[in-house]
Each structure stands twice: as structure tokens, then as C-alpha cells.
Amino acid sequence: MSGGATGATELAALQRRTVWLLSAGQVLGGFAIGATLSLGALLAADISGSDAWSGMAATMSTLGAALAAIPLARLAVRSGRRVALSSGALVSAMGAALTIAAASARSFPLLLLALALIGTGSAVGLQARFAATDLATDRTRGRDLSFVVWATTLGAVVGPNLLEPGDAIGRIFGLVPLSGPFLFGITAQVLAAAVYLIALRPDPLLLARAIGASADATAKPAIAAHESRARERFAILTVALSHATMVAVMSMTPVHLLHHGATLTIIGLTISLHVAGMFALSPVFGILADRVGRVPVILLGQALFAAALVTIALGAEQTTAVTVGLILLGLGWSASTVAGSALVTESTAPLRRPRVQGITDTLMNLSGAVGGALAGPTLALIGFNGLAVAGGAFVLAVLVGAVLVSRRPAP
């Protein structure tokens, strides 16, 4: 590819195609996750016999994503995004199949292992958003990343509404209750793996590496090392704690609603609207992040988190208030994650990016795992409204980090 206008045009066209293909994989991956997102907590509570263990569903899936993030990043460095993304999707499909076996055997340890493997699909989705930045320019990085995040909406919103149809299909095949929807997860992840492995050519990371030397030679001087690392650390903190806030509250919502008489349909609708909040407006936040800056959009995300937590704390006994709170929670996650992820990428030298991106995703999911693990006992101890109040500590930590970073000179 030439270095002039023609080369730039070809690269831009290739980047558009890459974003579309990554988005197609995200649609399928989002469908797989959405079809089973609400069931993990319900299965954990049912098989364990205690609601206190229901939070382990989110804990294990996010822990699985955390454990997979760095190996997938290393695989991407060694063999490219195609191999890494497709391998992760297939592992997630195996987890969905193992969940069906665990439900049939009523084995709680096996269920936890299966949920951890399913979590690899989340790690794939997270790596896909970074893959969208491999060939992106500084002016379009937030937008391209957010489009791939947005693509998850199509599958993830439909998925939770297929709980009852999936259960019906499962009964046809003789599966135990609550395990049928995982058939959708298996199918969707296998299809996603095919999209990544077969269609994602040339590999964006390998191509970016191939043209990186000439790009680095003409790039503007890097910002001071301490300044770059300070913004990098703040970006990682934002992504991790924002995810913890979302997981802690969202993971307990199905159990809370079920105790208040909600049907699977209502629970599925609530989670669908939450997931829509997470992904539907991500391009808006991505474009805003490109135009007004990463930190202002992060602050917007934290304001949305605060509004969500207040709404839930004051209206925990009302399904409508909980639903509104979950929508705001999703929007806060979207703004914070899109802007934070873009800030991680642009604050890191190109050669370090895949490794730092993997570390970011690991810490993000570990934070979510901790949030999910604490959510169950917190719900049992102080209720759903108390859980919302406790989540404010994560928001406060990000706000403090934003103040400290804003006091530094602009790069």
C-alpha cells in the first residue's frame, strides 16, 4: 500500500470494512450474551439453593473474561486479531454447552466453571472494540470504537426476550428448565467465530504492525512519559470501576425483580432496556469523545451513574423505577467505557497498546467480578436500595481521579 493519498484512501476503506466485520461479530456475540445474561443468577440461586450465591454468576463470567483477556491479547500479538477473536468465541460456545450439562446434573461447581468459560465471549467483545482502533486515526478512534460497541445492541437487546422461547425449545429437546436459551448462545458464538476467522482479512493488527514503522516516523512527538502514564492509569481506573458499578447492580436485578413477583418476560424486558442503554447510544458518546475530549465524556458517564443509583435507591420497590435506573446505568457504562477505552489507546505507545489493552480488560473484569461477588451478600444484608447506595463509592473514586488528572498540564 502506497504512502500517498491513494494509500490513505485504501486504508480508510479497509478500516470501514474492518469495523463492519467486527460489528457483525459483535451482533452475534451480543445475541449469545443477551440470551443468557439474565439466567446466570437465576440458575446459580436455583442450583445452590440460596440467593446469596446468585451473584457468583456475574462473578464467574466476569472472572472468566478477566482470565481470558491477557491470553487473548498475547494470542493477538502473536497470530493476529482473527485467531484471537475466533478462539475466544469458540471457548464461550463450549461454556454455553457446559452450562446445559451443569443445569441437568444440578452441579453448582460445574455451573461456575461453565459461566467462567462463557465469560470469554465478553473478553472477545472487549478485544473487538480495541481491534477497531488498530487502523483508526486520532480523529476517528472514539467513533470507530463506539460503532463496534454499538453493534452489540442488535443481538443483546433481542437475546433477553428469547428466554421463554428458548426455554420452550429446550423442553422440546428434553433439557431442564432455564437451560434451553443457552442453545442460542452456542449457535451465535460459533457463527461469530466463523465471521472473525474467515472474513476478517487482512488482519487489522498485523497490518497496523506492518505499516507502523512509517507511521511512527511521521507521527507527532509523544507526550511526556509521566503525563501519558498518568492519563493511562486514570483511563484504566475509569473502565474498571465503571464496569464494577454496572455489574454489581445489574447482576442482582433479576433476583430482586423475581422476589417482587416479576415474570421472566418482565425481567427479560428490563435487562433488554438496560443492555440497550449500554450499547445503543455508544456512537453518540464516541463522537462526543472525539470532539469534546475523553475526560468530559467520562464525567458525563459518572453523572449518569449517579442518576441511576439515586433512582434505584429511592424506587427499589417499583419495577418502573428499577427499569429507569437500569437504563441510566447502561448509559453511564457506555459513556465511561467508550471514552475510557479511547483514552487508554491514545495514551499508550503503539508497541505497548495490545498488552495494555489486555491489562485494561483484565482489570475491568476483575473489578466486575469483585462487584458481582459483593453484590449478593450486600443484597441479602441491606437490600437492593442499599446496594445502589454502596455503588456510589466507585463513582466517587473515578471523580477523584478525574480531578487529579485535570490538574496536570494538557499534553
* Rounded distance between C-alpha atoms, residue 11 and residue 8, angstroms: 5
**CA pair distance 68, 119, nearest whole angstrom:** 8
Answer whether residue 27 shows pLDDT above 70: yes
Query: Does 2 reside within a domain?
Result: no
Domain count, the chain: 1
**63 within a domain of the structure (yes/no):** yes
Q: Tell me, what's the pLDDT at 222?
A: 39
pLDDT for 350 beyond 90: no
* Confidence (pLDDT) at 279: 82
* Rounded Cα–Cα distance for residues 12 and 118 (Å): 34
Residue 307 or residue 267, greater confidence? 307
What is the rounded CA–CA span in Å between residue 143 and residue 404? 26
CA dist., res. 338 & res. 329, Å (int): 14
Rounded Cα distance between 289 and 105, Å, is 48
- Average pLDDT on 364-389 reads 84
Q: What is the mean pLDDT of residues 138-160?
A: 81
191 domain residue, yes or no: yes
Residue 157: per-residue pLDDT? 66
What does the mean pLDDT of the chain come to? 85
**371 pLDDT higher than 70:** yes
Give a yes or no: residue 202 inside a domain. yes
219-253 pLDDT, tens digit per residue, is: 443 343 444 788 899 999 999 999 999 988 988 88
Please tell me the predicted confidence (pLDDT) of residue 363: 92
> Cβ(18)–Cβ(129) under 8 Å?
no
CATH code, domain carrying 291: 1.20.1250.20
410 domain-assigned: no
Instruction: Pick from 25-39, 90-104, 166-180, 267-281 the range whose average pLDDT is largest.
Output: 90-104
Task: Evaluate whether 22 touches 192 at the Cβ level (below 8 Å).
Answer: no
Full domain range(s) for residue 58: 10-209+224-403
* 392 in any annotated domain: yes
Does residue 218 belong to any structural domain of this protein?
A: no
Residue 283 clears pLDDT 90, i.e. is over it:
yes
pLDDT in tens, 42-101: 788 888 887 767 767 777 887 888 899 999 999 999 999 999 999 999 999 999 999 999
For cell 472487549, name the residue. Answer: 126
Sign of CA dihedral 342, 344, 349, 354: negative
At residue 36 the predicted structure's pLDDT band, cuts being 50, 70 and 90, is low
| pLDDT above 90: percentage of residues in the chain | 44
Residue 5 has pLDDT above 60, yes or no: no
Inform me whether the pLDDT recorded for 198 exceeds 70: yes
Question: So what's the pLDDT on residue 316?
Answer: 78
CA dihedral 335, 339, 344, 350 (to 10 degrees): 140
Q: Crossing angle of helices 182-194/81-105, nearest 10°? A: 160
Q: What value does the mean pLDDT take over residues 152-173?
A: 75
Higher pLDDT, 1 or 117: 117
The model's confidence at residue 261, banded by pLDDT at 50, 70 and 90, is low
pLDDT at res. 168: 82
How large a percentage of the chain has pLDDT more than 70? 89
In a domain, 411, yes or no: no
Whether the pLDDT of residue 25 is over 50: the answer is: yes
